[in-house]
């Protein structure tokens, strides 16, 4: 009778396919010990550089195996033993880390011979098994059927004394390959991070941070009992010195993410360590909350990430170790998922972003000025993006809270589907928030540095230099004259002229530094601006199409009596949706016309404040309607601004309204009012909802200060720049803006005063 046969090469093919690298293979064997309810595992290596004499031994104190369990579970490839029941271990109710029953093929990848000794205890009965598998002899046979008649597999049932303790020892002999020194070192780096460093799971020490943040200990495993699980590496596999405590002490910021909420929220906390507080004493932990992205069904997890800014310090060994151990790793049930966090793996695109946003101009401060006040990294143009080497952290996933993440077939990473993308998005949002909080902290420091540089420049500046161009011209003349004097042998006069030239250049550098801080954002905004005209044209075309569709649907409903009632009702719903789309598009197009049209930027004129506010209100009306927020324009129709561009005033009001809508809450109210005073014209925008502390309200005008967690770092949305930009615009007209005491029934009020 015809039947299937299986070639013995299946072991080699499956082993290579399902286990990507040696460290992954060893981790799979350790996972077997975890699933067997072990509390301690010791992994010992000896002569691993010698394929014949080398040996790796994995010993655990788990429940062990008898001959039946070994035969049905260990010897049966793709065993269903872990697919039964609720997939939990018998003693500690641990969630099984394996699902396919093929982890033992990891032994095939590492060695040619595997020896197993295991003791199993059940009540008063203590039994065990001793087994030896020779993979070379197995593969000498053509099919699996022929193995039964060979001595490739030896199995013996043992009966140890009643005092024998359960557990298993797996010995791997005749290693598959000879490890070079470099390969051995790389293997150790991977293996020593297979479990989470205690530093990232234990309560944060008071020497580092004043109080616990979102959680005391993160949820690392989905276990119903508090069972310890430790792994020790010994012999040739003993890891180098553990410098994690030094990394923790060197951290400047701590980011914690809690995405375990059952109500679909993600919470973030970014806190300065005591080390950072030495530089930024006024900074406090910042807390944010956002809805879980997408459909909200993505992986639920917790994370703790350390951030070190500036250059590595301390002992050279610590610096070398931290360079190899940096990165944000992913752990599933407490076991690392390779390759996330490796030095060559940029799963969060941090290295890419740091490279793309770095200063490409090639310009820097002069050596003379930098010697006086060294430039910090945060003084460079662009946002404060940092590469992977500055981050040390872990994402803690469990089988229960991330059931839809699918592992790649070689167990190295997850399938990059929508679930994985949501995981990346949640973590990247935390990184973006951390960048913004750091920008807030360093803003005052950077301003002080700029003032110091300007002061030094003023002290050595040449007199009577009326313009920027004149300063550059003077520098060129001084340096040219110095060159001629040097050629003529007059070194003293040349040196004097060189000093004068350098002083002029320092003035240029100081002014350029302030401009460069905004260069990255300006380049993006300029490129967006060039597209707005064509975009407005397209928007108007879409408006026409929406109007035609809405009208066509209306005619169809009115003049088609044969339509069934259900169909007519559905068509009315479609017509209503098209009408809403048309109105929303109309509002956006109206705002863009107000801001980017030629008339809006042609000349300054005294603007009707009521009209400009109404234009800005149309832009945000959709967001207001969604939250059922009432916007009332109580600005007197005859009240006018000083001569301004219409686009500027519309932008000012749009920024204030955007903030007010975020703060007002559902069914809130926003009111604008205005009056003519003896000293000028004042406009007040008030909202219900969140109140602003007037004693600390000035902080919200600093760059990057924001209470929102929704960030688009490319366009600056959610980056806390709205009020900063608004104040800058108004400053040019001698106008002021500040938080003031709100009127009765409102929580927050901003007042603009146009002097004169």
Q: Report the chain's terminal Cα–Cα distance, integer Å.
A: 104
Tokens in use for 696?
């600390």
- Report the pLDDT value the prediction gives residue 325, as an integer from 0 to 100: 76
Copy the structure tokens of residue 6: 């299986």
The angle at the Cα of 676, spanning 675 to 679, to the nearest 5 degrees, equals 130
**pLDDT for the residue numbered 462:** 42
Co-location of 202 and 305 in the same domain: yes
Has residue 321 got a pLDDT over 70? no
Average pLDDT along the chain: 78
Give the residue with greater pLDDT, 250 vs 273: 273
687, pLDDT greater than 70? yes
pLDDT tens, residue by residue, 16-55: 666 667 777 888 888 888 889 999 999 998 888 888 898 9
Q: Three-state DSSP class for 212?
A: coil
Q: Give the Cα separation of 311 and 319 in Å (integer).
A: 10
As a whole number of angstroms, the distance between CA 372 and CA 713 comes to 33
**249-258, 557-566, 714-723, 745-754, range with the lowest pLDDT:** 714-723
Whether 394 has a pLDDT exceeding 70, the answer reads yes
**Sorting pLDDT into bands at 50, 70 and 90, what band is 461?**
very low
Q: How many Cβ atoms from other residues are within 10 Å of residue 696's Cβ? A: 10
Same domain, 121 and 28: yes
The lowest-confidence range among 144-148, 477-481, 690-694 is: 144-148
Q: Bigger pLDDT: 27 or 667?
A: 667
* Same domain flag for 157 and 179: yes
Residue 552 forms part of a structural domain: no
- Write the DSSP string, 540-557: HHHHHHHHHHHHHHHHHH
Are 176 and 212 in a shared domain?
Answer: no
Out of 44-53, 423-432, 501-510, 568-577, pick the least confident: 501-510
* pLDDT of 141: 77
User: 109-118, 228-237, 443-452 — which one is most confidently predicted on average?
Assistant: 109-118
254 and 394, same domain (yes or no): yes
Three-class SS of 585-639: HHHHHHHHHHHHCHHHHHCCEEEEHHHHHHHHHHHHHHHHHHCCCEEEEECCCCC
The reply to whether 280 and 258 lie within a common domain is: yes
pLDDT band with cut points at 50, 70 and 90 for residue 563? confident
Residue 516 φ then ψ, to 5°: -65, -30
Tell me how far the alpha carbon of residue 407 is from its chain's centroid: 21
Asked if residue 549 belongs to a domain, the reply is no
Q: What is the pLDDT of residues 508-558, one digit of tens each?
A: 666 565 555 555 555 555 555 555 555 665 666 677 777 788 888 888 888
pLDDT-derived band at 381, boundaries 50, 70, 90: very low
User: What value does the mean pLDDT take over residues 274-282?
Assistant: 89
pLDDT greater than 60 at residue 157: yes
Tokens of 498: 């060189």
Query: What pLDDT sits at residue 737?
Result: 92
pLDDT band for position 287 (cuts 50, 70, 90): very high
Residue 491 has pLDDT above 90, yes or no: no
CATH code of 42's domain: 3.30.565.10
Q: Quick one: tokens of 379?
A: 């003084």
Region 487-506 average pLDDT = 72
**Could you tell me the CA-to-CA distances from 251 to 202, 241, 277 in Å, in that order?**
16, 19, 11
Angstrom distance (rounded) from CA 721 to CA 105: 56
The stretch 146-174 carries a mean pLDDT of: 84
**Of the residues 423, 448, 473, which one is the last residue of a structural domain?**
448
5 found inside a domain:
no
**Mean pLDDT across the stretch 679-688?**
91
Q: Are 253 and 300 in contact, with CB atoms under 8 Å apart? A: no
**Same domain membership, residue 247 and residue 162:** no
- pLDDT band, residue 376 (cuts 50/70/90): very low
Q: How many domains does the chain have?
A: 4
Structural contact between residues 24 and 106, judged by C-beta atoms closer than 8 angstroms: yes
- Residues 273 and 217 sit within 8 Å (Cβ to Cβ): no
pLDDT band at 580 (very low <50, low <70, confident <90, very high): confident
Give CA separation, 621 vs 582, 588, 626, 719, in Å. Answer: 13, 10, 9, 22
pLDDT: which is higher, 81 or 540: 540
> What is the spatial distance between Cα 124 and Cα 654, in angstroms, rounded to a whole number?
78
The bridge status of strand 391-397 relative to strand 327-332 is: parallel
Q: Which of 69, 56, 46 is nearest to 118 (CA)?
A: 69
The answer as to whether 551 is a domain residue is no
Do 142 and 179 share a domain, yes or no?
A: yes
The answer to whether residue 360 scores a pLDDT higher than 50 is no
Please give the full DSSP string across 662-718, using - where no structure is assigned: HHH-TT-EEEEEEEEETTEEEEEEEESSS---TTSGGGGGSTT--S----BTTTTBT
Distance CA 564, CA 273 (A): 68
Tell whether the model's pLDDT for residue 378 goes beyond 50.
no
**Among 739, 700, 737, 704, CA closest to 720:** 704
In the predicted model, is pLDDT for residue 362 greater than 70?
no
- Whether residue 712 has pLDDT greater than 70: no
Share of the chain above pLDDT 70, in %: 73
Is 333 in the same domain as 203? Answer: yes
Rounded distance between C-alpha atoms, residue 742 and residue 306, angstroms: 40
Task: Render pLDDT for 598-633 as a digit per residue (tens, 0 to 9).
Answer: 555 556 788 899 998 988 888 788 888 888 999 999
Chain-centre distance of CA 346, in angstroms? 12
Host domain of residue 417: 198-218+240-448
Q: Give yes or no for residue 57 having a pLDDT over 70.
A: yes
Q: 370 pLDDT band (50/70/90 cuts)?
A: very low
Indicate whether 562 belongs to any domain. Answer: no
Residue 361 has pLDDT above 50, yes or no: no
Structure confidence at residue 715 (pLDDT): 35
Residue at 247 is within a domain: yes
Residues 447-474 have a mean pLDDT of 55
List all residues 6 or more positions away from 491 whose beta carbon is below 8 Å from its beta carbon.
Answer: 485
Buried b or exposed e, range 515-539, using 16+ CB within 10 angstroms? ebbeebbeeeeeeeeeeeeeebeeb
Residues in Cβ contact with 166 at an 8 Å cutoff, skipping those fewer than 6 apart: 61, 62, 63, 64, 119, 120, 121
Q: Supply the pLDDT for residue 209.
A: 92
Confidence (pLDDT) at 594:
59
| 214 vs 302: CA distance, rounded Å | 9
What's the confidence (pLDDT) of residue 90?
A: 83
122 and 70 in one domain?
yes
- Looking at the structure, tell me whether residues 500 and 403 fall in a common domain: no
**Residue 317 pLDDT greater than 80, yes or no:** no
Q: Which residue has the tokens 């990057």?
A: 704
Q: Does a cis peptide bond (omega within 30 degrees of 0) precede residue 339?
A: yes
The helix/strand/coil state of 645 is coil
Q: Which two tokens stand for residue 191?
A: 């293996």
Residues 483 and 427 in one domain: no
Residue 553 lies in a domain: no
Asked, for residue 257, whether it belongs to a domain, the answer is yes
Banded pLDDT at 375 (limits 50, 70, 90): very low
pTM for the full model?
Answer: 0.66
């Amino acid at each position: 009778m015809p039947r299937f046969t299986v070639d013995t090469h299946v072991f080699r093919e499956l082993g290579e396919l399902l286990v990507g690298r040696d460290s992954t293979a060893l981790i799979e064997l350790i996972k077997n010990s975890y699933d067997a309810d072990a509390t301690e595992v010791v992994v010992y290596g000896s002569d691993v550089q010698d394929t014949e004499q080398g040996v790796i031994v994995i010993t655990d104190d788990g429940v062990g195996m008898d001959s039946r369990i070994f035969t049905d579970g260990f010897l049966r490839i793709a065993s269903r033993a872990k697919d039964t029941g609720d997939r939990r271990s018998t003693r500690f109710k641990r969630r099984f880390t394996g699902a396919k029953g093929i982890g033992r093929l990891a032994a095939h990848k590492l060695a040619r011979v595997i020896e197993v000794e295991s003791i199993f205890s059940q009540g008063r009965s203590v039994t065990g098994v001793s087994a030896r598998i020779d993979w070379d002899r197995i593969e000498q046979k053509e099919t699996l059927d022929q193995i039964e008649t060979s001595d490739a597999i030896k199995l013996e049932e043992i009966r140890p004394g009643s005092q024998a303790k359960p557990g298993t020892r797996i010995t791997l002999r005749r290693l598959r390959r000879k490890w070079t020194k470099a390969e051995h070192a790389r293997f150790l780096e991977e293996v020593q991070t297979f479990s989470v460093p205690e530093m990232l799971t234990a309560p944060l020490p008071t020497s580092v941070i004043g109080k616990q943040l979102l959680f005391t200990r993160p949820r690392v495993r989905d276990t119903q009992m508090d069972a310890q699980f430790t792994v020790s590496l010994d012999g040739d596999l003993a890891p180098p010195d553990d410098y994690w405590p030094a990394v923790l002490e060197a951290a400047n910021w701590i980011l914690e993410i809690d995405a375990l909420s059952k109500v679909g929220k993600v919470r973030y906390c970014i806190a300065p360590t005591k080390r950072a507080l030495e530089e930024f004493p006024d900074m406090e932990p910042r807390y944010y909350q956002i809805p879980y992205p997408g459909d909200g069904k993505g992986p639920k997890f917790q994370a703790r990430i350390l951030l070190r800014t500036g250059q590595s310090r301390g002992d050279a060994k610590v610096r070398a170790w931290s360079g190899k151990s940096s990165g944000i790793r992913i752990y599933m049930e407490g076991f690392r998922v390779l390759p996330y966090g490796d030095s060559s793996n940029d799963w969060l695109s941090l290295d890419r972003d740091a490279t793309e946003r770095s200063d490409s101009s090639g310009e820097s401060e002069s050596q003379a000025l930098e010697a006086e006040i060294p430039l910090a990294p945060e003084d460079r143009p662009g946002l404060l993006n940092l590469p992977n080497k500055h981050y040390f952290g872990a994402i803690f996933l469990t089988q229960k809270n991330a059931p839809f993440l699918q592992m790649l077939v070689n167990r190295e990473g997850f399938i990059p589907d929508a679930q994985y993308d949501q995981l990346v998005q949640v973590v990247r949002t935390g990184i973006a928030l951390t960048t913004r909080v750091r920008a807030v902290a360093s803003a005052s420091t950077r301003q002080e540095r700029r003032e110091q540089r300007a002061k030094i420049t003023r002290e050595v500046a040449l007199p009577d230099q009326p313009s920027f161009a004149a300063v550059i011209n003077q520098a060129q003349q001084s340096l040219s004259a110095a060159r001629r004097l040097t050629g003529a042998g007059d070194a003293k006069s040349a040196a004097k002229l060189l000093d004068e030239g350098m002083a002029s250049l320092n003035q240029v550098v100081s002014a350029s530094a302030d401009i460069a801080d905004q260069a990255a954002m300006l380049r993006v905004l300029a490129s967006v601006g060039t597209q707005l005209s064509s975009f407005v044209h397209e928007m108007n075309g879409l408006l026409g199409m929406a109007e035609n569709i809405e009208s066509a649907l209306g005619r169809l409903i009115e003049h088609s009596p044969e339509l069934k009632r259900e169909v007519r009702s559905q068509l009315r719903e479609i017509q209503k949706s098209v009408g809403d789309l048309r109105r929303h598009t109309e509002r956006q197009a109206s705002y863009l016309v107000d801001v980017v049209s030629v008339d809006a930027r042609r000349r300054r004129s005294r603007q009707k404040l009521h009209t400009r506010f109404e234009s800005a209100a149309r832009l945000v009306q959709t967001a207001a309607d969604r939250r059922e927020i009432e916007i009332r324009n109580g600005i007197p129709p005859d009240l006018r601004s000083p001569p301004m561009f219409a686009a500027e005033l519309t932008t000012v009001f749009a920024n204030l309204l955007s903030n007010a809508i975020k703060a007002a809450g559902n069914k809130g109210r926003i009111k604008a009012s205005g009056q003519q005073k003896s000293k000028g014209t004042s406009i007040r925008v008030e909202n219900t909802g969140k109140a602003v502390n007037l004693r600390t309200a000035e902080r919200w005008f600093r760059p990057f200060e924001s209470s929102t967690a929704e960030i688009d770092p490319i366009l600056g949305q959610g980056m806390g720049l709205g009020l900063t930009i608004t104040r800058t615009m108004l400053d040019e007209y001698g106008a002021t803006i500040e938080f003031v005491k709100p009127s009765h029934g409102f929580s927050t009020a901003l007042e603009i005063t146009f002097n004169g």
